[in-house]
């Protein structure tokens, strides 16, 4: 059982919804990024989604793109991202960390080497947005063999014919993208999300969390109420972009977490 599996099992046992927070590794620089990441569990975050900076983030909106650029300009690399995770693990051995990014840096490193280093650093799962199920042999299956969850995205355009393929080798949880388009582009609507979550749950026993288009505690509560949890990224990253103190960023995160945790099925 991975940390992700254990976290969702614990939440389910307590009839609680998950709150997942996304931040870009190294944004705005290594030290401040580590300070924020270390503070996320205390702010109520159940799962940390850590972005791996990349030069061509095609699925990300302007806010996340800018975060990646700031991180790259501050000298963030794959090695330093792994070092950030390892530093976090010095004080926290329970909070799950999912690395989210693109395949190119992993491919360049070499899959076997990357998986060994990621596991050693303390990464629990991967979301790699540009590897479809047809490419499961590239990273998904090796990752699971190495003990890491591989989390797949489902979207509003994932029809009934496609969904079983998407779910086939997914583990940890399913990430439902609530809107079509890029991150931070529009708001999620619980009324639209609810039937899609039910459709996914009909095909899997995995938890389904919903991201994209969630920017307020009220929206986090509404979306978590129709799913197993909510993910917030751009709204948090925008606070970091404003050069707010870590304490202020974490206070905002706590408000989002409280919103998600107050949701009822």
The torsion region of residue 212 among left (phi > 0), alpha (psi -120 to 50) and beta comes to left
Choose the catalytic residue: 27, 46, 49, 196. Answer: 49
Coil/strand/helix, residue 82:
helix
Angle (CA) 28 29 33, round 5°? 80
- Sequence-distant (≥ 6) Cβ neighbours of residue 125 within 8 angstroms: 2, 4, 96, 97, 98, 99, 148, 149, 150, 151, 171, 172
Angle (CA) 235 238 241, round 5°? 160
CA distances 8 to 100, 110, 159, 196, Å, are 19, 30, 26, 20
Query: Known catalytic residue: 35?
Result: no
Describe the strand order of the beta sheet including 125-128 as a list of residue ranges.
149-150, 125-128, 97-101, 47-51, 18-24, 229-232, 208-211, 174-177, 153-154
Query: Known catalytic residue: 10?
Result: no
CA distances 191 to 127, 198, 236, Å, are 26, 12, 24
- Sequence-distant (≥ 6) Cβ neighbours of residue 221 within 8 angstroms: 259, 260, 262, 263
Burial class (CB in 10 A: 0-12, 13-18, 19+), 180: exposed
Choose the catalytic residue: 5, 27, 46, 60. Answer: 60
Please list the active-site residues: 49, 60
């Amino acid at each position: 059982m991975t940390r992700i599996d254990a976290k969702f099992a614990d939440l389910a046992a307590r009839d609680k919804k998950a709150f997942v927070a996304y931040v870009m590794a190294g944004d705005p620089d290594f030290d401040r990024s580590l300070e924020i990441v270390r503070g996320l569990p205390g702010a109520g975050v159940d799962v940390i989604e850590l972005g791996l900076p990349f030069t061509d983030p095609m699925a990300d909106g302007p806010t996340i793109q800018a975060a990646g650029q700031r991180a790259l300009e501050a000298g963030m690399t794959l090695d330093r991202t792994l070092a950030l995770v390892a530093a976090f693990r010095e004080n926290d051995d329970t909070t799950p960390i999912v690395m989210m990014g693109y395949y190119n840096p992993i491919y360049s490193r070499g899959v076997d080497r990357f998986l060994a280093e990621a596991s050693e650093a303390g990464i629990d799962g991967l979301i790699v947005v540009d590897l479809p199920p047809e490419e499961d042999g590239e990273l998904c299956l090796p990752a699971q063999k190495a003990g890491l969850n591989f989390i797949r995205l489902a979207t509003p355009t994932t029809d009934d014919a496609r969904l079983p393929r998407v779910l086939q080798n997914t583990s940890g949880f399913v990430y439902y993208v609530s809107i079509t388009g890029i991150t931070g582009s529009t708001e999620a609507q619980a009324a639209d999300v609810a039937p899609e979550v039910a459709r996914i749950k009909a095909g899997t026993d995995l938890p389904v969390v919903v991201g994209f288009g969630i920017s307020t505690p009220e929206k986090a509560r509404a979306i978590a109420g129709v799913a197993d949890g909510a993910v917030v990224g751009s709204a948090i990253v925008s606070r970091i972009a404003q050069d707010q103190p870590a304490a202020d960023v974490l206070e905002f995160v706590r408000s989002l977490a409280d919103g998600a945790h107050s949701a009822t099925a």
